[in-house]
């Protein structure tokens, strides 16, 4: 896939060639460093903490195919220690007075609302250039990525930084992209993957008898829903501001006030409903702009509709995937409307 991407870029100019070249080189380095998970588990020289995590990862990977009907292939059956905190960095951008993210179009993947870089400096340089163009910009580190089955994606050291629940969520999410992907519809793709991830993690925690883990996960999901609710409210307020006849200076002031109000709402939510839980502090302490709000919305807005459809399919993954596939075959706005209106598992 990446080789095809770089060939397609050759007619588009040096900047595009450079971008695809870093993608090809970064992915190739990771693929060349893969070591079989089974081999590492059997190797007596493997540190015990790593062996334990990989043993759990192997069980999670088998559960994904056996119980969630996710692809049974060589993805996530090898391991790479990448030696850094993120595998890639994603750059999002949006106009100063719009919540519509800028998109970039690529062979195979279609159009997506971000550009990914294997080097932090390259991402930062791109962000600086986009900011010079007058755009709001947001850069975030990514712990895992999918090649949609075009190559055997490995487990990465970044995926093992938290507990097994986090690892399961990443494996289920990325394999879901291999199960179904619609070119050019990131909101649909990400919400589908999040729905598979969340329902899958619940099923896995129940199957392993991890009641404490399930309780903790449900609390975390409720917090996530509260967080997305805050973002949705602010996005609605900003849409009204951006659609008003205000002068640019007045619009900028109103935008800043709406973001200040978002932070106030968050602190109240954190201190009252969440009993002081501070897990989202870093997100709110950092700058907030249209690009950051757009990036957050990509992963959340359609998730409830997918989960509702999953329930209509009696929690049967093959039936759910077949129903989603029929919706995915629709075009443009019809796809989102069909998902929203679905009342049976067709």
Q: What is the pLDDT of residues 293-312, one digit of tens each?
A: 999 987 777 899 999 999 99
Task: For the chain, state the CA radius of gyration.
Answer: 21
Q: Please enumerate in sequence order all residues whose Cβ is within 8 A of that of 61, keeping only pairs 6 or more positions apart, or say none.
A: 37, 76, 77, 171
Q: Which residue has the higher pLDDT, 137 or 187?
A: 137
Kind of pairing between the strands at 110-112 and 104-106: antiparallel
Confidence of residue 4 (pLDDT cuts 50, 70, 90): very low
Confidence of residue 109 (pLDDT cuts 50, 70, 90): low
Q: Which residue has the higher pLDDT, 32 or 299?
A: 32
Note the pLDDT of residue 108: 64
Q: Which residue has the higher pLDDT, 5 or 126?
A: 126
Instruction: Record the tokens describing residue 263, joined without a space.
Output: 């932070």
**Lowest-pLDDT range, 2-6, 134-138, 203-207?**
2-6
- How confident is the model over 149-169, as pLDDT tens digits? 888 999 999 999 999 999 999
Note the pLDDT of residue 293: 96
**Percent helix, percent strand, percent coil in the chain, to nearest 5:** 60, 10, 30
**pLDDT over threshold 70, residue 333:** yes
SS3 94: strand
Confidence of residue 19 (pLDDT cuts 50, 70, 90): confident
Closest C-alpha to 19, from 155, 144, 122, 169: 122
Which whole number is the average pLDDT over 170-187? 94
Note the pLDDT of residue 11: 37
Strands of 96-237 (E only): list them. 104-106, 110-112, 115-117, 135-142, 155-156
**pLDDT over threshold 50, residue 1:** no
- How confident is the model over 58-106, as pLDDT tens digits? 999 999 999 999 999 999 999 999 999 999 999 999 999 999 999 988 7
Confidence of residue 145 (pLDDT cuts 50, 70, 90): confident
Note the pLDDT of residue 299: 75
Cα 185-342-204 angle, rounded to 5 deg: 75
Note the pLDDT of residue 5: 39
Domain range summary for the chain, segments of one domain joined by +: 1-32, 34-184
Rounded percentage of the chain residues whose pLDDT exceeds 70: 95
Which whole number is the average pLDDT over 240-251? 96
Note the pLDDT of residue 306: 96
Q: Which residue has the higher pLDDT, 23 or 294?
A: 294
- Alpha-carbon distance of 329 to 309, in angstroms, equals 16
């Amino acid at each position: 896939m990446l080789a095809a991407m770089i060939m397609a870029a050759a007619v588009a100019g040096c900047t595009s060639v450079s971008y695809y070249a870093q993608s090809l080189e970064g992915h190739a380095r990771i693929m060349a460093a893969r070591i079989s998970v089974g081999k590492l588990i059997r190797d007596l020289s493997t540190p015990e903490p790593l062996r334990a995590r990989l043993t759990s990862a192997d069980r999670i990977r088998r559960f994904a195919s056996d119980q969630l009907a996710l692809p049974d292939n060589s993805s996530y059956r090898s391991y790479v220690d990448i030696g850094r905190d993120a595998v890639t960095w994603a750059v999002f951008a949006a106009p100063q007075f719009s919540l519509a993210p800028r998109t970039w179009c690529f062979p195979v993947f279609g159009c997506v609302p971000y550009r990914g870089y294997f080097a932090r400096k390259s991402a930062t340089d791109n962000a600086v250039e986009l900011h010079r163009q007058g755009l709001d910009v947001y850069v975030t580190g990514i712990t895992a990525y999918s090649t949609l089955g075009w190559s055997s994606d490995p487990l990465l050291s970044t995926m093992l930084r938290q507990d097994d629940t986090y690892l399961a969520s990443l494996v289920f999410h990325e394999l879901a992209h291999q199960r179904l992907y619609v070119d050019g519809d990131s909101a649909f793709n990400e919400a589908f993957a999040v729905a598979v991830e969340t329902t899958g993690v619940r099923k896995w925690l129940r199957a392993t008898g991890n009641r404490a883990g399930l309780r903790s996960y449900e609390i975390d999901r409720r917090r996530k829903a509260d967080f997305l609710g805050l973002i949705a409210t602010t996005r609605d307020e900003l849409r009204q501001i951006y659609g008003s006849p205000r002068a640019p200076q007045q619009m900028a002031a109103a935008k800043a006030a709406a973001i200040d109000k978002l932070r106030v709402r968050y602190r109240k939510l954190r201190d009252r409903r969440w009993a002081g839980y501070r897990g989202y502090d870093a997100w709110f302490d950092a700058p907030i702009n249209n690009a950051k709000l757009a990036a957050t919305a990509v992963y959340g807005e359609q998730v409830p509709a997918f989960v509702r459809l999953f329930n209509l399919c009696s929690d049967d993954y093959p039936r759910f995937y077949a129903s989603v596939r029929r919706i995915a075959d629709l075009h443009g706005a019809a796809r989102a409307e069909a998902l929203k209106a679905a009342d049976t598992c067709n």
